[in-house]
Structure 1
C-alpha cells in the first residue's frame, strides 16, 4: 500500500470535513496519540532504565498507525496528498543533510 492508497482508506473511517469543529477534533486527536507514544516512552525510561528493546512493538505499531491516520486525514482536510507530504519531507531532510544542517533547531535550516 502506498501513502495515497492509505490516505484514501483512512478517509473511509473519517468524519465529514464539514462536521462542526472537525479540524479541531483532528488536531487534538493527533496531539493525544503522539502523547500516548511519549507516555509509553516515559514509562520505559522510568521503569525499565531506558531499555527501549523492551518496548511492545505491536503496541507501538498501533499507536504509530493512529498518528498516521490523523496526519492523513488532516492533510486531506487541506486537499494535500500524503504522498506529497512525504516527498517534501524527505527532500527537505536530504537538503539539510547535504548542507550538514540536520542538527540544530528551526524550520529554515
Structure 2
C-alpha cells in the first residue's frame, strides 16, 4: 500500500488563473491604447492578487513573471497616456497666456 504513494508523482504546477487574467487584461488594454483607466486598474489588481496567490501556494502555482509583466505594461500605458492626452479644458484656462488687449484696439 505504501508503494502506491511513493510512485505517485507530485502534482504538476499550473499558471495562476489570476496571473493569466492579468496579462490578458493588460494586453487588451494595450490594444485599446490605455484609454480605459478602469481596465488598467483591473489588470494591476489581478496581477497583485496573482502574486499573492503564487506566494501563498508556490508548490501549486507559477506565473510570477506574467504578473510583473502585466504591472509593468499597465504602468507604461499609464505614463504614455498621461503624456499624449491633451490637458483638460479647465486646466488649459489657467495655463493660457492672457491677451494683452492689442487685438481689441
TM-score calculated relative to the size of structure 1? 0.35
TM-score calculated relative to the size of structure 2? 0.36
Greater relative CO (CA pairs within 8 A, separation 6+):
1
